[in-house]
Amino acid sequence: MEIKSKTMSDSDKNTLPDTQNQKDVREIPIDKVGVKNLKYPIAVKDKTKEIQHTIATIAMTVDLPMEFKGTHMSRFVEILQCKDREIHVDSIDTILVEMQKRLKANSSHIEIEFPYFMEKKAPATGKPSLLDYVAKFHAVRNGDKKDFILTVKVPVTTLCPCSKNISKYGAHNQRGEVTVSVRFKDTVWIEDLIAIVESSASSELYSLLKREDEKSVTERAYENPVFVEDLVRNVVMKLKKNDSIIWYNVEAENFESIHNHNAYAQIESHNVFTNGQADEYMINRY
Query: What ranges do the domains of the chain cover?
Result: 26-285
Q: What is the homologous superfamily of the domain 26-285 according to CATH?
A: Urate Oxidase; (3.10.270.10)
Residues 37/59, Cβ–Cβ less than 8 Å:
yes
Provide the mean pLDDT of the chain: 89
CB 247 within 8 A of CB 183: yes
In this model, does residue 191 exceed pLDDT 90? yes
Q: Indicate the pLDDT class of residue 162, thresholds 50, 70 and 90.
A: very high
- H-helix or E-strand containing 171? none
What percent of the chain is predicted at pLDDT more than 70?
Answer: 85
Span 224-272, pLDDT tens digits = 999 999 999 999 999 999 999 999 999 999 999 999 999 999 999 965 4
Residue 191 CA to residue 180 CA, distance in Å, equals: 12
Amino acid at 243: D
Residue type, 217: V
pLDDT score recorded for residue 275: 46
**pTM: predicted TM-score of the whole model, two decimal places:** 0.87
Question: Quick one: 18 exposed, middle or buried, by C-beta within 10 A (0-12, 13-18, 19+)?
Answer: exposed
Bridge partners, 135 (sequence order): 114, 152
Condensed to tens digits (0 to 9), the pLDDT of residues 241-252 reads: 999 999 999 999
Say what the pLDDT of residue 90 is.
Answer: 86
- What dihedral angle (degrees, nearest 10) is formed by the CA atoms of 241, 245, 251, 257? -50
Q: Which of 248, 282, 286 is nearest to 267 (CA)?
A: 248
DSSP β-ladder status, 173-184 and 203-204: unpaired
Q: Is the pLDDT of residue 281 over 80?
A: no
pLDDT band per the 50, 70, 90 thresholds, residue 17: low
Mean pLDDT of 119-146: 97
Residue 273 has pLDDT above 60, yes or no: no
**What is the rounded average pLDDT of the residues 159-164?**
97
pLDDT the model gives residue 67: 81
